[in-house]
Amino acid sequence: MPEFKKVLQSSMKVRFHDCDPFNHLNNSRYIDYIIAARGDQLKENYGLDIYKMARQQGIGWVTAQTEISYLSPATLMEEVIIETQLLSFGARSLLFEARMWNDSKTELRAVLWGKLVHFNLRMQKSQPHSDELMNFFSEVVNPLPEEMNFESRVKTLKQST
């Protein structure tokens, strides 16, 4: 069985059309950047194409909850690093974390936790993950060293930078 990376990473450039009048990345666009990065990372690192799954199998994940903390502004034309990891999973849900950094990973721009629910697009209702997906999640999950809530996690990350 292959050894999977637990923390995935990619970079993106902050574009003009995504910025506010102060040349800061617009708050709603942080989420867009993170979701786009996570989708690309899953395909590149695990061969998991969530868009193909939606088209061919009629399954996917919908966002049930998003918590985000904006810590420092990402600015126009800045290269940002986005790291993501699966924190936990259940029969019908996933919890992932994303961290957005400056290009040298010395300044944390934002932290996001997203809770996703497995969803049957054809039936328009949630459904349990398959055994195959559950086995995959058990290979890639990267739980935090201790149980904590979002606010505690942000505080811990801020203190470590």
pLDDT tens per residue, range 85-132: 999 999 999 999 999 999 999 999 999 999 999 999 999 999 999 999
- Contact of 78 with 17, CB cutoff 8 Å: no
**Confidence band, pLDDT 50/70/90 cuts, at residue 161:** confident
Q: What is the pLDDT of residues 49-82, one digit of tens each?
A: 999 999 999 999 999 999 999 999 999 999 999 9
- What is residue 18's DSSP assignment? G
Domain boundaries, the chain: 8-160
Q: Is the pTM for the entire model greater than 0.85?
A: yes
Which one is the CATH code of 8-160: 3.40.50.620, 3.10.129.10, 3.40.50.1820, 3.40.50.80? 3.10.129.10
